[in-house]
Amino acid sequence: MIPGRFEYHQPETLPAAVALLSDLGEDARVIAGGHSLIPMMKLRLAMPEHLIDLRAIGTLRHITVADGQVRIGAMTTQAEIIDSGALQQSAPILRETSLQIADPQVRYAGTIGGNVANGDPGNDMPALMQCLDASFKLQGPSGEREVAAREFYEAAYFTARDDLEILTEILFPVSTAGYAYEKQKRKIGDYATAAAAVLLGKGADGNCNHAAIALTNLADTPIYCEEACAQLLQSGVNAASIQSAVQSAMGQIEPVDDNRGPAEFKKHAAAVILKRAIDIAWSRN
Amino acid sequence: MSAAEETIQERTAALKGLGTSRKRVEDARFTQGKGNYVDDIKMPDMLFGDFVRSPYAHARVKSIDSSAAMAVPGVIAVLTAQDLEPLSLHWMPTLAGDKQMVLADGKVLFQGQEVAFVVAEDRYIAADAVDLVQVEYEELPVLVDPFKAELPDAPVLREDIADATEGAHGPRRHPNHIFTWEQGDKSATEAVLAEAPVVAEEMVYYHRTHPCPMETCGAVASMDKVNGKLTLWGTFQAPHVVRTVASLLSGIAEHNIRVVSPDIGGGFGNKVGVYPGYVCAIVASIVTGQPVKWIEDRMENLSATAFARDYWMKGKIAATDDGKILGLWCHTTADHGAFDACADPTKYPAGFMNICTGSYDIPMAYLAVDGIYTNKAPGGVAYRCSFRVTEAAYFIERMIEVLAIKLNMDAAELRAKNFIRKDQFPYHSALGWEYDSGDYHTAWNKALEAVNYTGLRAEQAQQVEDFKAGKTRKLMGIGLCHFTEIVGAGPVKNCDILGMGMFDSCEIRIHPTGSAIARLGTISQGQGHATTFAQILASEIGISADDITVEEGDTDTAPYGLGTYGSRSTPVAGAATAMAGRKIRAKAQMIAAYLLEVHDNDIEWEVDRFVVKGAPERFKTMKEVAFASYTQVIPGVEPGLEAVSYYDPPNMTYPFGAYICVMDIDVDTGESDIRQFYALDDCGTRINPMIIEGQVHGGLTEALAIALGQEIAYDELGNVKTGSLMDFFIPTSWETPNYQTDFTETPSPHHPIGAKGVGESPNVGGVPAFSNAINDAFRAFGLTHTHMPHDHWRIWKTANDLGLHS
């Protein structure tokens, strides 16, 4: 449990961090809260020669809600998200999800940027970001760009982020639709056996006017369930449409056997968890 | 107020003796981070050792090239078996009469086995160098299933003893067979089974798990080449035995070895054995002349130092049609891993597994245990239990449930019908034990009433109806357990470890001003000895517990003892403490009589003083006597006030308890929720009720972990699948339910203060209660038995196999 040797850098500005990353290239890794990277380093599964710590860059730590949009700096911790009254108003699903990530100690250090950028299928925020239709701001040597969360994840630990880019900010529209993040896990601190993020809006006519569904840890990337959403939008939210939405979502998942159980079990549990999340989200309208 | 005006009650309360919920004196330092653990020891020029470990479960070691590691600046040495062989230290004896490789000698037999020991200036350099040691392996076929160990084509694991037909515990019939241990009357039991109206059969598996103490194992060895003295600090549950073993192995005279167990962050059996890390640290210190520290990390702890359980228990239980048990038969296949390193008294290779008749009056019984080698880590320690008592309790408490199903009878009623009655104690069991005392029916009825058992069963029946009607997807389980433990090893006539009789000891010194120090042969790992042993003594000698220091763990100062495990500290060292206290009082009585100018027989003891019979205003307190013993000439009496007692218990003690767990189970996700847990413990005389409650909470939480998910699992290649706390289940406060504790008090008739020991009861009784609740939830749907650990997917699978998902 002793990591390999590395040099530690703590730049104080974003341009300095980007420049450092460009200079050091593939031998360097950016570190945010460290709760994914440090365990990997202790196991020597990751052996970066340089660590670029973003902690001293104050501009990466903020929560702003304005003009119907939420902007969260990548270095904002889960604890700060949980404590934010503004977020509770503009995206209550975020707080509900953060509260289910690990434990309080981890949440004081773990950041939202690290959670979404790493591409770990076990992380909870990626599916939530897809559900919220968030986009990620990336800063690299050749400038800044935005990538939609629904386009970001390619495979386990592989994302649209270039090695020389730093994920700096997360943006998504204010979301006051009915919400739920339901997660089955073995214990506090565990990754999901199955988890579902659901947003369902209810119009004045009682119909479903907004639907977003995404799943955590049931494939090597988060799963955005477009067809399931379409079914709920078309047919309204009722027992039959929920069942077909769940069925459609289950067609997209590819869970693997692990210590949480075999894929067969996870498929069953995922369907139960998703249905629960839909029921709760719809009831919160 | 003068001493004379205080009432007897006030004086008794001031002692903070037996029965007082005295706050733990240890906690001031533990809660402030001021404990002193092995890894806190830092010495000038101290080196750090780290292991190269085998990635394979079974492989031949073709070569070891340490040149690249040695080239790293700061690396002092890389030890291999070749280096240890001239010292005859490449293998070491185990506590179970086997031997174990200290470093891989030609082959490796489990994943994580120690292959080479890198010694470097700090632990970071050592870890880097470990990565650079090049070991060439040739993989061999792996044996992980103990039932395949004796097949004709099974790989031979222990080539060193492949041809030995005799082991430490009798004949061996196969190179992978360690021993067969038989108890009871085989043919008579089989005759009972053949003729009984009802026989229930089941295979009960108690899976492999691990004690996983918060602090891992470690040691610091320091060889002083000037005076020839070796000091060894370590996480030792039995420091005196470690000293003797270290002396025998190293050839260093025992008086030149000092072993110190400082604060220990939990042991639970994991720290009883002797590990390669200790031996390598000692050798490295002797070779370098510098102190050497070795501390294992969490993954090393889980995968290489002592596991627990891994017993496959095939049972048959015979009864009359109306539920009177006639006989019990058990055959256990015990998976010991690559070396037999169980920590059991020598004559008990399967520990006290023959307590498996439990709380029941079973007239005829037979037990056989076959020990088997596999490509897994060695161990088999008593994880928060007396030797194999958890396995025995789980077995009988599952068999009772299985029999209740077969008889279509209520399991609580079946238990009550077969309990050993109060008037049968001392009770001689069919498998050879003499139970000291018990009152099972009283405890059982109290428990059933406390939870409204009848009401719970009615509610459960309604829930089953609702489930069948599609109104709910949840089931309710009621887990019953009445356990009887056997602790306090033990009488020297039948209990020893490496030949050392399992007595224990206490040495008391009263200071002139009337405070005291007591030193014991045991060592606390969190049990609170400094608190409770002072209370025993306070009640014996009339000095407040606050004025008594309790010290353990330093072999240079403490009297010899066999250490702390198997709930033996209170039954054995606690008895020694009381006996030594009585010696102090006997001498004090002579001094008091002299001071009061009366005959010895004319005074009597009263709480904290000697009082002249019939003249209560004439007395001498223990404090006054202590002062006099140092300041006055007392004719015919030596100065000072000291005593020592080495206590050889006449029998074990037999704590018992009644536990009931009520659980709600989601059949679709396999999640379980503990609604209620009631735990009644009878540990005889209660020394400190608050500590007892804390022990019960802790033990129940470990039991919950084991029953609901904690395991050391291997894949087919012998890879450890649960080697970190991500997968090895340790409950947090979130997963821990509220516990409702209760008690009855049936003193042990042979213990000086009647105490029996409690620390392990909740683990012994908790596991069957949790497991029975899960099993019971599915009883209405035809389930007889499902194996632990009952994690989500296994519960889901049980429901799925019963057709509850269609």
Residues of A within 8 A of B297 (CB-CB) are: 1
Q: Does the pLDDT value for residue B337 go beyond 60? A: yes
Q: Residue B554 pairs with which residues in a beta bridge?
A: B260
Task: Specify whether B661 is catalytic.
Answer: no
Contact A235, A228 (CB under 8 A): no
| Residue showing tokens 């086997």 | B98
- Is B237 known to be catalytic? yes
Query: CA A181 from chain center: how many Å?
Result: 12
Tens of pLDDT along B188-208?
999 999 999 999 999 999 999
The residue among B52, B72, B669, B706 with the most chain A CBs within 10 A of its CB, best to mutate, is B669
How many Cβ pairs within 8 Å bridge chains A and B?
66
Chain A, nearest residue to B733 by Cα? A188
Cβ atoms of A195 and A216 closer than 8 Å: yes
- Tell me how close the Cα of B235 comes to any Cα of chain A, in angstroms: 20
Query: B709: which chain A residues are within 8 Å (Cβ-Cβ)?
Result: 186-187
Kindly report which listed range (B275-289, B488-502, B762-776) carries the lowest average pLDDT score.
B488-502
From chain A, pick out residues whose CB is under 8 angstroms from the CB of B713: 259
Query: Which of A33-42, A69-78, B411-420 is the least confident region?
Result: A33-42
B805 touches chain A (CB under 8 A): yes
What tens digit of pLDDT does each residue of B578-592 get? 999 999 999 999 999
pLDDT band, residue A132 (cuts 50/70/90): very high
pLDDT at B2 over 80: no
Ramachandran class of B781: left when φ > 0, alpha when ψ lies in -120 to 50, beta otherwise: alpha
User: Where do the structural domains in chain B lie, given as residue ranges?
Assistant: 3-35+504-647, 38-142+216-264+271-304, 307-489+652-801
Task: Give B647's strand partners.
Answer: B504
The 10s digit of each residue's pLDDT in B672-709 is 999 999 999 999 999 999 999 999 999 999 999 999 99
Q: What span, in angstroms and rounded, lies between the C-alpha atoms of B151 and B141?
A: 13
Please pick, among B100, B237, B463, B525, the residue that the annotation labels catalytic.
B237
Tell me how far apart the alpha carbons of residues B23 and B531 are, in angstroms, rounded to a whole number: 8
Q: Does domain B307-489+652-801 have CATH number 3.30.365.10?
A: yes
Name B647's Cβ contacts closer than 8 Å, sequence gap at least 6: B503, B504, B505, B506, B572, B573, B575, B576, B579
Say how far apart CA B755 and CA B568 lie, in whole Å. 11
- Asked if B384 is an active-site residue, the reply is yes
Residue B203 corresponds to which amino acid? M
Q: Which of B72, B302, B701, B726 to mutate to test the interface with A (most CBs of A within 10 A)?
A: B726
> Distance of alpha carbon B166 from its chain centroid, rounded?
29
**Region label for B10, one of left (φ > 0), alpha (ψ between -120 and 50) or beta (otherwise):** alpha
Query: A261 — contact with chain B (CB < 8 Å)?
Result: yes
Distances (CA, A) of B479 to B274, B311, B440, B770: 38, 21, 17, 6
CB contact under 8 A, B792 and A184: yes
Q: How far apart are CA A54 and CA A64, in angstroms?
A: 19
Q: For the residues B664-672, what does the mean pLDDT come to?
A: 97
How many CA atoms within 13 Å lie on the side-chain side of B303? Answer: 26
Residue B571 contacts residue B755 (beta carbons within 8 Å): yes
- Contact state of A186 with B709 under an 8 Å Cβ cutoff: yes
Residue B1 reports pLDDT greater than 80: no
Q: Is the pLDDT of residue B4 over 60?
A: no
User: With pLDDT > 70 as the criterion, what percentage of chain B qualifies?
Assistant: 99
Nearest to B319 by CA among B409, B407, B427, B411: B407
Q: Looking at CA atoms only, how far is residue B218 from chain A in angstroms?
A: 15
B727 part of contact set with chain A, CB < 8 Å: yes
Question: Can you list the positions of beta strands (E) in B54-98?
Answer: 59-65, 75-79, 91-93
State how far the Cα of B587 lies from the Cα of B606, in Å rounded to an integer: 16
Q: Is the pLDDT of residue B3 over 70?
A: no
A279 touching chain B per CB within 8 A? no
User: Most A CBs within 10 Å: which of B122, B666, B793, B800, as the mutation test of the A interface?
Assistant: B793
Please say whether the beta carbons of B210 and B193 come within 8 A: no
Q: Which residues are bridge partners to B621 per DSSP? A: B609
Read off the tokens for B718: 């012998």
| B528-538 pLDDT, tens digit each | 999 999 999 99
Domains of chain A: 7-53 (3.30.43.10), 62-173 (3.30.465.10), 178-283 (3.30.390.50)
Name, in order, each residue with C-beta under 8 angstroms of B546's C-beta and a sequence gap of 6 or more: B16, B534
When scoring A40, A103, A182, A259 by the number of chain B Cβ atoms within 10 A, the one with the most, hence best to mutate, is: A259
Q: Are B329 and B315 in contact (CB under 8 A)?
A: yes
Query: Which entry of B296, B506, B760, B779 is annotated as an active-site residue?
Result: B760
Q: Which residue of B has its CA nearest to A1?
A: B297
Mean pLDDT of all residues in B599-619: 97
For residue A270, the chain B residue with the least C-alpha distance is B669
Whole-number Å distance between alpha carbons of B295 and B282: 13
User: How far is Cα B557 from Cα B233, in angstroms, rounded to an integer?
Assistant: 14
Q: What is the pLDDT of residue A266?
A: 98
Residues in chain A within 8 Å Cβ distance of B735: 187-188
CATH of domain B3-35+504-647: 3.30.365.10
Q: According to the CATH classification, is domain B38-142+216-264+271-304 in 3.20.20.70?
A: no
pLDDT digits (tens, 9 = 90+) for A191-241: 999 999 999 999 999 999 999 999 999 999 999 999 999 999 999 999 999
Tokens at B128, concatenated:
């880097």
A189: contact with B, CB 8 A cutoff: yes
Helix or strand holding residue B167 (H, E)? strand B166-167
Closest in A4, A103, A186 to B792, CB measured: A186
Is the Cβ of B804 closer than 8 Å to some Cβ of chain A? no
**CB count in 10 Å sphere of residue A50:** 18
Any B CB within 8 A of A268 CB = yes
A163 touches chain B (CB under 8 A): no
Name the DSSP letter for residue B788: S
CA distance B519 to B556: 11
Q: Residue B640 in contact with residue B630, Cβ under 8 Å?
A: yes
CB within 8 Å of A15: residues ≥ 6 apart: none
**pLDDT tens digits, residue range B539-588?**
999 999 999 999 999 999 999 999 999 889 999 999 999 999 999 999 99
pLDDT of B146 above 60: yes
ipTM of the complex: 0.96
Distance from CA of B740 to the nearest CA of A (A): 23
Interface of B with A in 734-773 (CB under 8 A): 734-735
